[in-house]
Amino acid sequence: MKARIPGAPQGGANNMMKKIQEMQENMEKVQAEIEATEFTSSVGGGAVEVTVTGAHEVTAVTLKPEIVDPDDIEMLQDLIISATNESIRKATEAMEQGMEKAKGGLSIPGLF
């Protein structure tokens, strides 16, 4: 008795493998594109701006001079953390959306 994958076209073990390989190639392409993309967030009315790549690497931190107050370092630290986390959230969301699009609606339980 041959096992059948629900929703797979008939005569299609080879077709299914081809589709999975195409999907995997698409996912790798999307992942590389998103990892190379930069995501920027600003907080504090634009006083702090942080840019990260889709690979979650911080590439830039911009501070307006008036935000640097030696008597209130904690606020500056909080703003930097907030902007960094928001940029990472944007990158993560873009990756999730890109992967969903690359899968093209294909879902194999246990794999993705």
Q: Does the pLDDT of residue 5 top 70, yes or no?
A: no
Asked whether residue 42 is assigned to any structural domain, the reply reads yes
pLDDT (average), residues 1-13 = 59
Asked whether residue 110 is assigned to any structural domain, the reply reads no
Asked whether residue 2 is assigned to any structural domain, the reply reads no
Q: Give the range of the structural domain holding residue 72, as residue numbers without chain letter.
A: 13-103
Residue 53: per-residue pLDDT: 95
Task: Give 3-state DSSP helix, strand, coil % of the chain, rounded to 5.
Answer: 50, 15, 30
Read off the pLDDT of residues 56-109 as tens digits, 9 standing for 90 and up: 999 999 999 998 989 999 999 999 999 999 999 999 999 999 988 887 766 666
Cβ-defined contacts of 52-59 (< 8 Å, 24+): 52/84, 52/87, 52/88, 52/91, 53/91, 54/91, 54/94, 54/95, 55/91, 56/88, 56/91, 56/92, 58/84, 58/87
Question: How many separate domains does the chain show?
Answer: 1
Asked whether residue 109 is assigned to any structural domain, the reply reads no
Asked whether residue 51 is assigned to any structural domain, the reply reads yes
Here the CATH number for the domain that contains residue 87 is 3.30.1310.10
Lookup: tokens for 34: 């998103």
Read off the pLDDT of residues 14-40 as tens digits, 9 standing for 90 and up: 888 888 888 889 899 999 999 999 999
The pTM for the full model equals 0.73
Lookup: tokens for 23: 């999907």
